[in-house]
Amino acid sequence: MAGKQPSLWWGCLVSELGAVGAGKPGWLDDAALVAAMGRDLVAIARQRSLVVTPWSGAHSSAPRASGFSIDSIPAATGADPSYRITALEWLFWEGWSVLAVGTSLGILCFYSEIGDLLIKQSFNVGSICNLHVRCNQNKRVTAEELSVAFQSSIARIDALDLQSQLRRRLLEVARNSTLERQLIAAESTKLSYQVWSVKSSGSSICVDAAITGVLPPALFEQQSRERYFCAVTIGSDSTLAAFRLSEDRRKSLTELLFNKVVPATVSRITSFAKAFRRNSEPVQEARPAEVKAQEFSRASLITALKDSPRKGESLALSPTCSLAAVTDSLGRVLLVDVHALVVVRLWKGYRDAHCKFLEAPLNGSSGLQHRSSCVKEDFSLCLAIHAPRRAVVEVWQLRNGPRLSVIHCSESCRLLQPPSQFWSSDRNDHEEESYSPKLVFLLKGDSGLLSLINPFMDQ
């Protein structure tokens, strides 16, 4: 590792962060604290307090907003007073961005860069566990969406519908900025969405979930224009589970075979067996539980990795959603091929770890210089693993490459990643755009400094 500097000082946060616990030892290690990094702003929340602050440094551009703070996210009348902010994610389009804030009440709020409430909507009962964005950076070939993970379900919001609704609300807020009217308009605006139940068993609790892409129709399914999505989940019952999500709520031929024909056949065989075994004890028939009417679309379990007492703790997706990094309760980090649904690499000895995928430039540049001439082949996919108990951040080359660098961080720190950009509906599909790599920054809690992680960076 001689001659290599694995991180570069990038900037520092400029706002006061005392409302979210800054100044206390190890405040960034608090499990109740969530953070998200935008292009010009960093959002940090703890309990019901939210602070959005710009950062300044040699590599920073002039921010479009000076940040804002919110003492309490608006909740419904009579709501549990102990509710808190549980998830943050920046949504970025060309030239503008919006902050999505999820709460333990299942309410999702969208804020502008200056703190205007744009949309407030409840998508399901229960706490929001996390928010994930899936983007196609260069051209809109497949669907893009915002995934909202709950403890037993996952919701999908299409990026095109989200863009049109948020842009309309931004124009309305610019014309009228009264707080009371903002709240009324935010609650009256409703986003189209779909929701699926993704419980691998009756008692399982989902810790995180994300939609990773579009699947082809299954065997015996009627070929149509309906899309099928793949979703991966982690939780208390299974370290990793994969589901096939259908946009159609009608019963498929496959479901009819397993839910109607197979139980009826088993019941008929059981009745014949009981007739020939009159002297034996009566056999209890096993009938499938009746599914109650609900708003969920159809979801079927593809596979599940169950290894008790191992439990999934955190989930990270690669830029193309082809790989996933899963940390578990036994201190292991699993690299999963999402398409094949197999574990392709395993690291041990990383308790309470968090991971981020990054694309490091092979030529050692910062990753933001000369972006107009960048192509994907100029970058190497890596995985940054933050192990707080060992006070290090390690960067490994994927899929089977070596450890490239080790960053020692004695103080509390947090890995942050700017968002990918959605493909705007008003852009030309034939317009060429340079490749934008996924970067990862290290935020140090005691100093508020931001450092860019790049294992190939020259000294």
DSSP 159-196: HHHHHHHHHHHHHHHHH---HHHHHHHHHH-----EEE
More confident residue, 254 or 307: 307
Which of 145-154, 257-266, 365-374, 404-413 has the least mean pLDDT?
257-266
Average pLDDT, integer, range 329-348: 93
Residue 231 near residue 196 (C-beta atoms within 8 A): yes
User: What's 371's DSSP letter?
Assistant: G
pLDDT bin (cut points 50, 70, 90) of residue 366 is: low
pLDDT at residue 80 greater than cutoff 90: no
Residue 5 is predicted with a pLDDT of: 54
More confident residue, 22 or 56: 22
* Helix H or strand E segment including 10: strand 7-13
* Whole-structure pTM value: 0.83
**CB neighbours of residue 397 within 10 Å:** 17
Residue where the block lists tokens 């993970």? 149
Average pLDDT, integer, range 430-438: 69
Residue 259 is predicted with a pLDDT of: 46
Which of 130-139, 226-235, 277-286, 311-320 has the least mean pLDDT?
277-286
pLDDT in tens, 162-191: 999 999 999 988 887 677 777 888 888 899
Distance CA 260, CA 253 (A): 10
Average pLDDT, integer, range 101-108: 93
pLDDT in tens, 389-432: 999 999 999 999 999 999 988 778 999 998 888 876 655 555 55
Highest mean pLDDT among 19-33, 56-70, 268-282, 445-459: 19-33
Distance CA 19, CA 9 (A): 25
pLDDT bin (cut points 50, 70, 90) of residue 457 is: low
Residue 138 near residue 118 (C-beta atoms within 8 A): no
When the pLDDT of each residue in the chain is averaged and rounded to a whole number, the result is 80
pLDDT at residue 267 greater than cutoff 70: no
Nearest alpha carbon to residue 444 among 417, 418, 405, 411: 411
Residue 295 is predicted with a pLDDT of: 62
Residue 64 is predicted with a pLDDT of: 59
Residue 56 is predicted with a pLDDT of: 77
Tokens of 386: 């933050």
Q: Given 2.130.10.10, 3.40.50.620, 2.40.128.20, 3.40.50.150, which CATH number is that of 7-274+293-453?
A: 2.130.10.10
Quick one: what percent of the chain has pLDDT higher than 70? 75
pLDDT bin (cut points 50, 70, 90) of residue 290 is: very low
pLDDT at residue 85 greater than cutoff 90: yes
More confident residue, 437 or 325: 325
pLDDT bin (cut points 50, 70, 90) of residue 372 is: low
Tokens of 299: 């979801």
Residue 387 near residue 370 (C-beta atoms within 8 A): no
Residue 66 is predicted with a pLDDT of: 75
Average pLDDT, integer, range 38-65: 80
pLDDT at residue 311 greater than cutoff 80: yes
pLDDT at residue 350 greater than cutoff 90: yes
Q: Label residue 349 left, alpha or beta by phi (over 0 means left) and psi (-120 to 50 means alpha).
A: left
Residues contacting 395, CB < 8 A, separation 6+? 6, 358, 360, 382, 383, 384, 385, 403, 404, 405, 406, 407, 453, 455
pLDDT at residue 334 greater than cutoff 80: yes
Residue 254 is predicted with a pLDDT of: 44
Residues in the chain, how many? 459
More confident residue, 286 or 123: 123
Residue where the block lists tokens 């290690």? 29
pLDDT at residue 263 greater than cutoff 90: no
CA atoms within a 13 Å half-sphere pointing along the CA-CB vector of 312: 28
Residue 140 near residue 429 (C-beta atoms within 8 A): yes
Residue 166 is predicted with a pLDDT of: 94
Bridge partners for 136 per DSSP: none
Residue 98 is predicted with a pLDDT of: 95
More confident residue, 71 or 210: 210
Q: Where are the domains of the chain?
A: 7-274+293-453
Residue 289 is predicted with a pLDDT of: 35
User: What's 243's DSSP letter?
Assistant: E
Highest mean pLDDT among 10-24, 281-295, 370-384: 10-24
Distance CA 141, CA 137 (A): 10
Sequence letter at residue 336: V
More confident residue, 140 or 135: 135
pLDDT in tens, 239-262: 899 999 988 655 444 444 444 444
Residue 209: is it exposed, middle or buried by C-beta count within 10 angstroms (0-12/13-18/19+)? buried
